[in-house]
Amino acid sequence: MRTGEIAVPLPESFDAGLFYIGRIRTPWTRRSDCPRNARESDAVCTIEVDERFAAALRGVETCTHLLVLYWMDRARRDLVVQAPRHYKEPRGTFALRSPVRPNPIAASVVRLLGVDGTRLSVVGLDCLDGTPLVDIKPYFASTDAVGDAVVGWHAARER
């Protein structure tokens, strides 16, 4: 743990269970290789959906963008305040997009290039190769896009 970070004891049991519904294939096999955020890379990644759920893709091909949820299975879950290496000041987990969080679910908006059976070619991911997939949703600009949203601490930091 880094200076200023705070861990808490986690609850003794889980409240709900997740199924992995597929895997994400990316060019990155070490955490240090991953782009710092998805907009920094235009690498084409592949989302491989399990055959069991193949029929659930019907209509996905009509979407230009998807919201992809995946499970960052290598991250610890007990830090409530953390200091990611590229920021100086420790901040609350819910003010950060760090993989370290009580439920390590990442949410990324991807551009869909194409669908081939149960394989989706997309741009906009930054995760490790083999990352477990937990959901795919159509991205609706009407409800999901807020162009003027501001993360105050981040905007202040950049000035």
Give the residue among 148, 129, 124, 154 at the shortest CA–CA distance from 40.
124
Which residue reads 């995760």 in tokens?
127
Collapse the DSSP code of 154 into the 3-class scheme (helix H, G, I; strand E, B; otherwise coil) and give the result: helix
**8 Cβ neighbours under 8 A, 6+ residues apart:** 78, 80
Of 44 and 109, the one with the shorter C-beta distance to its own copies is 109
Of 27 and 151, the one with the shorter C-beta distance to its own copies is 151
- In angstroms, what is the minimal distance from the CB of 126 to its own copies? 9
Q: How far apart are CA 14 and CA 35, in angstroms?
A: 31
- In angstroms, what is the minimal distance from the CB of 127 to its own copies? 13
Of 30 and 150, the one with the shorter C-beta distance to its own copies is 150
- In angstroms, what is the minimal distance from the CB of 14 to its own copies? 3
- In angstroms, what is the minimal distance from the CB of 124 to its own copies? 8
- In angstroms, what is the minimal distance from the CB of 20 to its own copies? 4
**126 Cβ neighbours under 8 A, 6+ residues apart:** 26, 28, 34, 35, 36, 37, 38, 40, 41, 108
Give the residue among 68, 65, 70, 69 at the shortest CA–CA distance from 140.
65
